């Protein structure tokens, strides 16, 4: 199990953070999520693939920045 922190573009309020958290938690393999709207980040714990995380967040209307 790994823990990664990602930048999230488009979050401006607590409601946005809740949408991003819900999107990330819906991805199979995610064990935990902490979203910080002030920092514009999401910390994800688990075994989910980064492309699955990014696709889920994009479907919610935000952009998860995955470092290459």
What CATH number is attached to the domain comprising 13?
3.30.70.100
Q: Which residue segment(s) compose the domain that 61 sits in?
A: 2-65
Q: Is the pLDDT of residue 1 over 80?
A: yes
pLDDT tens-digit readout, 31-63: 999 999 999 999 999 999 999 999 999 999 999
Q: What is the pLDDT of residue 66?
A: 87
Q: Crossing angle, helix 50-59 and helix 14-25, to 10 degrees?
A: 130
Task: Please report the sign of the dihedral spanned by the C-alpha atoms of residue 21, residue 26, residue 27, residue 33.
Answer: positive
Q: How many domains does the chain have?
A: 1
Query: How much is the pLDDT for 68?
Result: 59
The average pLDDT across 4-24 equals: 97
Average pLDDT over residues 13-36: 98
Beta bridge partners of 64: 8
């Amino acid at each position: 199990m790994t823990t990664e922190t990602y930048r999230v573009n488009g979050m401006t309020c607590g409601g946005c953070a809740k949408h991003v958290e819900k999107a990330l938690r819906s991805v199979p393999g995610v064990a935990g999520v902490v979203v910080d709207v002030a920092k514009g980040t999401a910390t994800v714990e688990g075994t989910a693939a980064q492309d699955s995380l990014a696709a889920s967040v994009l479907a919610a209307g935000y952009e998860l920045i995955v470092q290459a």
